[in-house]
Amino acid sequence: MTRIKICGLSQEAHVEAAVEAGADAVGFVFYAKSARFVTPQRARVLARLLPPFVTPVGLFVNATDAELQAGLEALPNMLVQFHGDETPADCDRTERPYLRAAAVTPGFDLVDFGSRFSNAQAILLDAPVEGYGGGGKVFDWSLVPPNVSSRLVLSGGLSAANVADGIARVRPWAVDVSSGVEVSKGIKSADLIHQFCRAVRRADAELTR
């Protein structure tokens, strides 16, 4: 079963929609330059709506120790997503479970990346975009080698229309979406969140037939 993360939430209604739709994780963007930025205090309010077994994820881009600490104080049970230029040592700073994002370009060596970030719970594959992420761009899925030992989260330009294809080709542990469930940059749609989660479930059902 492919796990689902809905990222970049800033409104109560969309956190509720993600939970109702069956998302396994919801992401809060602690990167001030993002259109989806929320303060740790706001994320804390939103995360109170989460039931057990739905994981809050805090997304950081080249954060300072103080920024990381503020996020962790607001959401002590969060999974950390490093989506910038962080080194393995940067990611190990918090001693917390984390996802490490990688921009996939021709020549990208996923095996080497996975062994450098061996403490990551999963490697999150994204397209190279300006502003580090959340660009709604799909990368070339054929660049992902088969049978990599790292757990993979597929992201980058996913939507209800293409997520089944992505799952069939990459066979990721989880998928992550932001732009593809928005009506405009930073504005989520409960309807699109539901459509996305239904498309993932259909894709899983198709693969087990």
The residues binding ligand LGQLAAA5 (CB under 6 A) are 7-8, 27, 29, 31, 34-36, 59, 61, 83, 124, 126, 131-136, 155-158, 176-180
Does the annotation count 91 as an active-site position? no
Q: Find the catalytic residue in 24, 126, 176, 197.
A: 126
Residue 126 annotated to the active site: yes
Q: How many residues does the chain have?
A: 209
For residue 141, give the DSSP letter: G
Whole-number minimum distance, CB 160 to ligand LGQLAAA5, in Å? Answer: 12
| Least CB distance to ligand LGQLAAA5 at residue 51 (A) | 21
Task: Report in angstroms how near the CB of residue 83 gets to ligand LGQLAAA5 at its nearest.
Answer: 4
First-last CA distance in the chain: 13
Positive or negative: CA dihedral 96, 99, 103, 109: positive
74/174 with CB nearer ligand LGQLAAA5: 174
The tokens for 9 are 């939430």
Q: Report the residue number, 90 or 176, with the smaller CB distance to ligand LGQLAAA5.
A: 176
Least separation in angstroms between CB 28 and ligand LGQLAAA5: 10
Write down the least CB distance from residue 182 to ligand LGQLAAA5, Å: 8
Tokens, residue 191: 């309807």
CA–CA separation, 40 and 45 (whole Å): 9
3-state secondary structure of 89: helix
Residue 156 CA to residue 149 CA, distance in Å, equals 21
State which residue, 150 or 178, has the beta carbon closest to ligand LGQLAAA5. Answer: 178
Q: Return d(Cα 23, Cα 25) in angstroms, integer.
A: 6
Nearer to ligand LGQLAAA5, 18 or 209 (CB): 18
By C-beta, is 83 or 100 nearer to ligand LGQLAAA5?
83
Contact, 105 vs 128, CB < 8 A?
Answer: yes
**Cα separation, 141 vs 154, whole angstroms:** 9
What residues act catalytically?
7, 126
